Amino acid sequence: MESKQLGSTGVPTGRVDVWRVRLDEPAKAGSEASVLSPDEIARASRFHFEKDRIHFTRCRSALRGLLAGYLAIPAAEIHFEYLTSGKPQLAAERNPHALQFNVSHSANMALIAVGSEHRLGVDIEKIRSDVDTTSLAERFFSVRERAGLQALPDHLRVPGFFACWTRKEAFLKATGDGFSFPLADFSVTTHPDLDPELEDINGNTEAGKQWFLADLSVVDGFRATVAIERSHSHLETYDWN
């Protein structure tokens, strides 16, 4: 990961910028909540634990700061609309370049992916060895994916599970359908050390070819994937400071 000054390369046309945000870093001078909308402030106040409130506030303020830099408008003037799945998107009247974005967070890390025109999704998950991967795979994965996990050697089962999970989540988030799209109705590759692919959608192996999936090496102990609705995309990764 490297640092980047917003505005140096403009709207990400033909590429996707992925920003890593540490949610446990001390707040900058001034309140990060000052750029949030009233509904975001209300949402933050509903978290029971202070740590969760801080993580949400920092993630949303980083998102607003990033989008403001790309759009060249003040962060407080960013307006979001929400799909029925809850996925936020920029209000069309303030988004002349059809900027697309997606956010994911797990533990103390967040990823914000930003592109233009093409739908995209990102997912990050902290790897946990105490997860019952077998039962979760039976519940959420396709027959093809479960067979792929079973074929892996024992030491790759947990990494394979989280690789599969982030690949599926990134695709679902890109579509905007969320869990209304049955998880068993599409398949991704499961080997954690090989390039990810969307293998089929409802058994159609051609349907996945319009999607580009890429695993992201963001920090040890996490798995992350980005999904973009195009056959290939150039990725740039940065730290949000």
The string of pLDDT tens digits covering residues 2-14 is 545 454 457 888 8
Q: What is the pLDDT of residues 73-87, one digit of tens each?
A: 999 999 999 888 888
Q: What pLDDT was estimated at residue 28?
A: 58
Q: What helix, strand, coil percent values describe the chain, rounded to 5?
A: 35, 25, 35
**Share above pLDDT 70 across residues of the chain, in percent, rounded to a whole number:** 93
Helix or strand (DSSP H, E) at 185: none
Q: What pLDDT was estimated at residue 85?
A: 80
**Section 53-57 average pLDDT:** 93
Q: What pLDDT was estimated at residue 231?
A: 75
Which domains can be identified in the chain, with CATH numbers?
2-118 (3.90.470.20), 123-235 (3.90.470.20)
Q: What pLDDT was estimated at residue 31?
A: 60
Q: Tokens 């400071």 sit at which residue? A: 241
Q: What pLDDT was estimated at residue 5?
A: 47
Beta bridge partners of 58: none
Q: How far is CA 123 from the centre of its chain?
A: 4
Give whichever of 14-28, 186-200, 201-215 has the largest mean pLDDT.
186-200
Question: Is residue 29 scored above 70 in pLDDT?
Answer: no
Q: What pLDDT was estimated at residue 41?
A: 92
- HEC profile for 136-178? HHHHHCCHHHHHHHHCCCHHHHHHHHHHHHHHHHHHHHHHCCH
